[in-house]
């Protein structure tokens, strides 16, 4: 007789129920991430409160009620109650070029464009003719020098007229490019077995690290004149560039030394065993590994250096902040300092953020040693 | 271009060579530009216009001197200086003259070894407070915080005045006028003190000027003027007499535009100034037309005043003490003979 009991026999797996509604979708995500515990919830509400109280009025001021036209602050205020960006617009050329002569500004633009080309081989690995581009990069300082100051066929432009973003980039890039090789040499010198060289390197590095940059800039701007014979004039910008380069070289040296110390002795010994000379072992074995370790530190110093260039406004060179300060004293526009500082902050943020992303890209690209 | 001389300069230092001390006038002529120190920006007194040119009451003096010496009022290299850096910059020879609302004091003249070429603005230190503070006298400022520019006479005056009047205060040190303004507006200090002209200029830039009052007390004398280094009297004389000529022309009502026509006029003093009688320019080491050019640069003293800081401008300062002695002020230039 057939089994007629009514007991239920499952013929397969029953259909899975959907997860509880409060753990999926938007609500689930919110519960999971924003209100997991009462403390999380409190933090979320606090953050929301901050957004409403700070961010909304800021956006309102920066964009919604801002005015973009007008020839003076009064006219600006008549259009909108918020930020007056017309001021930045009117003075944008000054913020970018400083006092560089109007008809010669194409030279700055060209120098900027050529600078971008030097960056191409750094960013793209597979660009054709990469070695030639690197070679061009080595020539670039001379080209930029010729373009910016003039000579031969181009009319000469006094460095006194340099200013604004152009000055910041000039000081920053010069400091960065020249301080890296100098810093590496200093780091190697400091670890050298030759007493004289290592003592000199230590003395230099410790001196630089013991003195604030602003002091060095003051020495560059005023004190050096006391030491030179009367009548010699030595371009202020060149003095500043030298000081900035030396300053950051001192710091780079220490960062690179940290990288060098992280390389096990065995590497050096292996290089010796292979019969490599000092420069061969340093350039083929030690430095490639040490610099890779030192990248975050080095980029950190570069970013710091780039921001420190604003200090030159104290010794009478007009970086964007100095330009802004002078422009703000025009009675037509006076009182718009927030707009100026925001604009300058935005410029620095864009530059420094780009540098920081580039360093992360470099680290990923060179991460080979730990992938085994 | 100075860059090229970098190596030369290094070489000279290396070999300990030293060239003979040339006079400032020769240096300026050889360089082709007048190196003039100014402030980092005070409304009306020094600012950049939309074309990137420095303008204002102080740069106008530089321009007049450049016109007299070099024949072109645009041949000026401006070096913005703060209250702290201005004297080092001048003493080190970075600049040829300083025109940066600087008070003439004993120690600056004698100890710091500068020569003041005269006074282009008679000022005095005052206090700016929000009217909501409900204060009507500086003596009521007990316990307040005060924004003050470092390295200035105002800093010292304030300490003395409050000590004498037993007023306790908290100084908020500030580097530049623009910073002081921003800090005051942000409420970081209750009081902003500097020269009364600067206060009026700052107040005119506020959103609601009527909500701020300048207290009646003027606690100091602040004769502001251009200055040069000790040790080159010829150069000091040039700056001094350019300034004096601007003042005399104002006294006699000769505008910059008229200078050319009046040169052969009946007034013997004007003839001497403008080079049609005697050889006064040569005594300064300049040519005959130096004063005409100086006046052409921005006009006479009164015109400069009216153009940058006078009552018609947004700064809106009255002549007051700076009116001619014939009109109730104390502006009084020595005779030109």
- Asked if B312 has any chain A CB less than 8 Å from its own CB, the reply is no
Whether the pLDDT of residue B224 is over 90: the answer is yes
Question: Which residues in chain B have Cβ-Cβ distances shorter than 8 Å to A234?
Answer: 2, 5-6, 9
Task: Single out the residue of A303, A214, A94 nearest to residue B50, CA to CA.
Answer: A94
Query: B136: Cβ–Cβ under 8 A, 6 or more apart, which residues?
Result: B215, B216
Quote the minimal CA–CA distance from A77 to chain B in Å: 9
Tens-place pLDDT, residues B265-316: 888 899 899 988 888 999 999 999 999 999 999 999 999 999 999 888 888 8
Which residue on chain B is closest to A223 by alpha carbon? B92
Which one has a higher pLDDT value, B206 or B45?
B45
Does the residue A359 lie in any domain? yes
A357 with A284, same domain?
Answer: yes
Residue ranges making up the domain that contains B317: 21-122+224-327
A242 with A136, same domain?
Answer: no
A47 with A143, same domain?
Answer: no
Which residue on chain B is closest to A337 by alpha carbon? B182
A218 with A256, same domain?
Answer: yes
Domain boundary among B196, B220, B244: B220
Alpha helices in chain B (DSSP H): 5-14, 24-31, 57-70, 86-91, 106-110, 153-164, 177-185, 196-203, 233-251, 259-262, 268-274, 280-284, 290-298, 301-308
- Phi, psi dihedrals of residue A27, rounded to the nearest 5°: -65, -45
Does the residue A1 lie in any domain? no
Q: Is the ipTM of this complex over 0.90?
A: no
Domain boundary among B220, B253, B273: B220
Pairing relation of β-strands B212-214 and B125-130?
antiparallel
Whether the pLDDT of residue B11 is over 60: the answer is no
Q: How far apart are CA A321 and CA A313, in angstroms?
A: 7
Q: How far apart are CA A329 and CA A334, in angstroms?
A: 5
A211 with A353, same domain?
Answer: yes
* Neighbouring C-beta atoms of residue A59, cutoff 10 Å: 13
Q: How far apart are CA A331 and CA B42, in angstroms?
A: 9
The answer to whether A314 contacts B17, with C-beta atoms less than 8 Å apart, is: no
B113 with B231, same domain?
Answer: yes
pLDDT bracket for residue B14 (50, 70, 90): very low
Question: Which structure tokens are listed for B300?
Answer: 């006479």
- Asked if A176 has any chain B CB less than 8 Å from its own CB, the reply is no
Which residue on chain B is closest to A73 by alpha carbon? B205
B178 with B193, same domain?
Answer: yes
Size of interface A-B (CB pairs under 8 A): 152
Residue B233: which CATH number? 3.40.190.10
Whether the pLDDT of residue B8 is over 70: the answer is no
B317 with B238, same domain?
Answer: yes
Question: Which structure tokens are listed for B125?
Answer: 């230190």
C-alpha dist (Å) from residue A175 to A114, A126, A240, A247, B199: 18, 28, 10, 9, 40
Does the residue A8 lie in any domain? no
pLDDT bracket for residue B203 (50, 70, 90): confident
Q: How far apart are CA A137 and CA A117, in angstroms?
A: 8
Does the residue B332 lie in any domain? no
A243 with A200, same domain?
Answer: yes
Q: Which of A149, A150, A325 sits opposite B178 (nearest CB)?
A: A325
Query: A239: Cβ–Cβ under 8 A, 6 or more apart, which residues?
Result: A220, A221, A224
- Asked if A310 has any chain B CB less than 8 Å from its own CB, the reply is no
- Asked if A160 has any chain B CB less than 8 Å from its own CB, the reply is yes
Arithmetic mean of pLDDT, B53-75: 94
Which residue on chain A is closest to B76 by alpha carbon? A160
In this prediction, residue A1 carries a pLDDT of: 52
Q: Give the H/E segment covering residue A187.
A: helix A164-190
A127 with A238, same domain?
Answer: no
B215 with B269, same domain?
Answer: no
Residue A262: which CATH number? 1.10.3720.10
The answer to whether A233 contacts B9, with C-beta atoms less than 8 Å apart, is: yes
The answer to whether B176 contacts A325, with C-beta atoms less than 8 Å apart, is: yes
The answer to whether B18 contacts A93, with C-beta atoms less than 8 Å apart, is: no
Question: Which structure tokens are listed for A245?
Answer: 């380069």
Q: Which residues, numbered 312 to 371 in chain A, qualify as contacts with chain B under a Cβ-Cβ cut-off of 8 Å?
A: 313-316, 318, 322-323, 325-332, 334-335, 337
In this prediction, residue A368 carries a pLDDT of: 64
Tell which of A71, A105, A239, A334 to mutate to test the B interface (max B CBs under 10 Å). Answer: A334
In this prediction, residue B258 carries a pLDDT of: 87
Does the residue B308 lie in any domain? yes
Does the residue B163 lie in any domain? yes
- In the predicted model, residues of chain A with pLDDT beneath 70 are 1-6, 229-233, 368-372
In this prediction, residue B7 carries a pLDDT of: 46
The answer to whether B1 contacts A156, with C-beta atoms less than 8 Å apart, is: yes
Phi-psi region of B137 (alpha: psi -120 to 50; beta: other; left: phi over 0): beta
Whether the pLDDT of residue B75 is over 70: the answer is yes
Task: Single out the residue of B142, B133, B137 nearest to residue B169, CA to CA.
Answer: B142
Cα-only R_g, chain B: 21
Quote the minimal CA–CA distance from A227 to chain B in Å: 8
Residue ranges making up the domain that contains A68: 29-79
Q: Which of B5, B42, B79 sits opposite A234 (nearest CB)?
A: B5
* Neighbouring C-beta atoms of residue B84, cutoff 10 Å: 15
A191 with A334, same domain?
Answer: yes
Task: Single out the residue of A92, A345, A331 nearest to residue B177, CA to CA.
Answer: A331
Which residue on chain A is closest to B89 by alpha carbon? A222
Burial of B22 (0-12, 13-18, 19+ CB in 10 A): middle
B214 with B86, same domain?
Answer: no
Does the residue A202 lie in any domain? yes
Query: A162: Cβ–Cβ under 8 A, 6 or more apart, which residues?
Result: A98, A99, A100, A148, A170, A237, A317
Does the residue B334 lie in any domain? no
Q: Which residues, numbered 210 to 249 in chain B, qualify as contacts with chain A under a Cβ-Cβ cut-off of 8 Å?
A: none
B255 with B177, same domain?
Answer: no
Does the residue B8 lie in any domain? no
Cβ atoms of B117 and B227 closer than 8 Å: yes
Q: Which of A221, A326, A331 sits opposite B313 (nearest CB)?
A: A331
The answer to whether A235 contacts B89, with C-beta atoms less than 8 Å apart, is: no
Does the residue B155 lie in any domain? yes
A75 with A189, same domain?
Answer: no
B214 with B232, same domain?
Answer: no
A91 with A226, same domain?
Answer: yes
- Give chain B's domain count: 2
Question: Which residues in chain B have Cβ-Cβ distances shorter than 8 Å to A314?
Answer: 82, 85, 175
pLDDT bracket for residue B82 (50, 70, 90): confident
Q: Which of A222, A233, A331 sits opposite B5 (nearest CB)?
A: A233
- Give chain A's domain count: 3
- Asked if A223 has any chain B CB less than 8 Å from its own CB, the reply is yes
Question: Which residues in chain A have Cβ-Cβ distances shorter than 8 Å to B27?
Answer: 231
- Phi, psi dihedrals of residue A336, rounded to the nearest 5°: -105, 40
Cβ atoms of A254 and A205 closer than 8 Å: yes
Quote the minimal CA–CA distance from B45 to chain A in Å: 8
Question: Which structure tokens are listed for B11?
Answer: 């070489």
The answer to whether A231 contacts B19, with C-beta atoms less than 8 Å apart, is: yes
Helix (H, G, I), strand (E, B) or coil at B288: coil
B215 with B286, same domain?
Answer: no
Query: B319: Cβ–Cβ under 8 A, 6 or more apart, which residues?
Result: B302, B305, B310, B327, B329
Quote the minimal CA–CA distance from A284 to chain B in Å: 36
Does the residue B2 lie in any domain? no
In this prediction, residue B15 carries a pLDDT of: 40
- Asked if B208 has any chain A CB less than 8 Å from its own CB, the reply is no
B116 with B261, same domain?
Answer: yes
B201 with B247, same domain?
Answer: no
The answer to whether B40 contacts A225, with C-beta atoms less than 8 Å apart, is: no
Quote the minimal CA–CA distance from A101 to chain B in Å: 9
Question: Which residues in chain B have Cβ-Cβ distances shorter than 8 Å to A96?
Answer: none
Quote the minimal CA–CA distance from A328 to chain B in Å: 7
A199 with A330, same domain?
Answer: yes
Question: Which residues in chain A have Cβ-Cβ distances shorter than 8 Å to B19?
Answer: 229-232
The answer to whether B41 contacts A225, with C-beta atoms less than 8 Å apart, is: no
B104 with B145, same domain?
Answer: no
In this prediction, residue B278 carries a pLDDT of: 85
A240 with A362, same domain?
Answer: yes
Query: B14: Cβ–Cβ under 8 A, 6 or more apart, which residues?
Result: none
The answer to whether B19 contacts A160, with C-beta atoms less than 8 Å apart, is: no
Q: How far apart are CA A79 and CA A77, in angstroms?
A: 5
* Neighbouring C-beta atoms of residue A297, cutoff 10 Å: 17
B249 with B289, same domain?
Answer: yes
The answer to whether A331 contacts B201, with C-beta atoms less than 8 Å apart, is: yes
Question: Which residues in chain A have Cβ-Cβ distances shorter than 8 Å to B177?
Answer: 329
Does the residue B291 lie in any domain? yes
Which residue on chain B is closest to A98 by alpha carbon? B52
Q: Which residues, numbered 79 to 138 in chain A, qualify as contacts with chain B under a Cβ-Cβ cut-off of 8 Å?
A: 90-91, 93-94, 98-99
Domain boundary among B220, B235, B255: B220
Does the residue A23 lie in any domain? no
Residues constituting chain B: 337
The secondary structure of A277-326 as a DSSP string is -HHHHIIIIIHHHHHHHHHHHHHHHHHHHHHHGGGGGGGT-B-HHHHHHH
Task: Single out the residue of B322, B195, B316 nearest to residue B251, CA to CA.
Answer: B322
Q: How far apart are CA A207 and CA A212, in angstroms?
A: 10
Tens-place pLDDT, residues B95-146: 999 999 899 999 999 999 999 999 999 999 999 999 998 888 888 899 899 9
The answer to whether B6 contacts A150, with C-beta atoms less than 8 Å apart, is: no
């Amino acid at each position: 007789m057939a089994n007629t009991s009514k007991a239920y026999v499952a013929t397969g797996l029953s259909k899975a129920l959907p997860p509880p509604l409060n753990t999926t979708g938007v609500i689930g995500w919110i519960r999971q991430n924003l209100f997991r515990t009462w403390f999380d919830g409190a933090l979320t509400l606090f953050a929301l409160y901050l957004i409403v109280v700070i961010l909304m009025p800021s956006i309102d001021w920066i964009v919604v009620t801002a005015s973009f036209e007008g020839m003076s602050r009064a006219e600006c205020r008549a259009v909108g109650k918020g930020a007056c960006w017309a001021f930045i617009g009117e003075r944008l050329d000054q913020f970018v070029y400083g006092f560089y002569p109007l008809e010669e500004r194409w030279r700055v633009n060209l120098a900027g464009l050529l600078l971008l080309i030097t960056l191409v081989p750094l960013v793209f690995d597979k660009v054709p003719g990469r070695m030639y581009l690197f070679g061009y990069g080595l020539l670039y300082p001379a080209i930029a020098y010729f373009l910016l100051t003039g000579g031969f066929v181009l009319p000469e432009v006094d460095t006194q007229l340099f200013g604004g973003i152009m000055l910041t980039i000039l000081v920053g890039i010069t400091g960065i490019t020249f301080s890296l090789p100098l810093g590496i040499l200093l780091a190697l010198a400091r670890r050298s077995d030759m007493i004289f060289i290592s003592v000199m390197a230590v003395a230099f590095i410790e001196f630089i690290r013991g003195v604030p940059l602003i002091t060095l800039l003051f020495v560059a701007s005023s004190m050096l004149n006391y030491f030179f014979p009367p009548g010699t004039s030595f371009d202020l910008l060149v003095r500043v560039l030298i000081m900035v380069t030396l300053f950051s070289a001192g710091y780079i040296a220490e960062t690179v030394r940290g990288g060098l110390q992280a390389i096990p002795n065995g590497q050096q010994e292996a290089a010796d065993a292979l019969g490599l000379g000092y420069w061969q072992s340093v350039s083929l074995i030690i430095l490639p590994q040490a610099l890779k370790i030192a990248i975050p530190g080095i980029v950190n110093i570069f970013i710091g250096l780039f921001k420190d260039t604003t200090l030159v406004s104290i010794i009478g060179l007009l970086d964007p902040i100095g330009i802004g300060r002078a422009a703000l004293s025009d009675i037509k526009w006076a009182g718009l300092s927030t707009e100026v500082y925001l604009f300058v902050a935005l410029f620095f943020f864009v530059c420094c953020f780009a540098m920081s992303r580039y360093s992360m890209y470099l680290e990923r690209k060179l991460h080979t040693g730990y992938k085994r | 271009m100075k860059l090229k001389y970098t190596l030369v300069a290094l070489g000279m230092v290396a070999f300990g060579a030293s060239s003979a001390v040339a006079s400032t006038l020769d240096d300026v002529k050889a360089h082709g530009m007048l190196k003039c120190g100014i402030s980092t920006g005070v409304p009306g007194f020094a600012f950049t216009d939309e074309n990137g040119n420095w303008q204002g009451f102080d740069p106008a003096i530089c321009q007049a001197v450049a016109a007299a010496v070099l024949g072109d009022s645009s041949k000026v290299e401006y070096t913005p200086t703060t209250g702290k850096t201005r004297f080092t910059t001048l003493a080190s020879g970075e600049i040829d003259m300083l025109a940066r609302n600087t008070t003439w004091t004993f120690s600056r003249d004698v100890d710091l070894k500068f020569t003041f070429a005269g006074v282009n603005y008679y000022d005095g230190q005052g206090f700016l407070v929000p009217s909501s503070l409900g204060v009507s006298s500086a003596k009521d400022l007990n316990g307040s915080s005060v924004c003050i520019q470092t390295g200035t006479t105002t800093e010292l005056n304030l300490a003395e005045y409050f000590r004498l009047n037993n007023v306790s205060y908290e100084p908020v040190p500030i580097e530049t006028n623009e910073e002081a303004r921003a800090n005051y507006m942000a409420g970081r200090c209750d009081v902003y003190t500097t020269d009364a002209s600067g206060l009026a200029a700052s107040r005119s830039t506020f959103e609601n000027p009527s909500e701020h009052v300048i207290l009646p007390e003027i606690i100091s004398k602040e004769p502001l003027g251009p200055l040069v280094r000790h040790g080159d009297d010829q150069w000091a004389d040039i700056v001094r007499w350019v300034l004096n000529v601007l003042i005399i022309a104002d006294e006699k009502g000769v505008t910059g535009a008229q200078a050319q026509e009046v040169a052969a006029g009946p007034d013997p003093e004007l003839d001497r100034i403008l080079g049609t009688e005697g050889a006064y320019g040569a005594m300064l080491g300049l040519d005959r037309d130096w004063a005409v050019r100086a006046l052409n640069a921005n006009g006479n003293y009164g015109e400069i005043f009216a153009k940058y800081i006078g009552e018609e401008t947004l700064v809106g300062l009255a002549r007051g003490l700076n009116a001619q002695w014939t009109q109730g002020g104390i502006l009084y230039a020595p005779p030109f003979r």
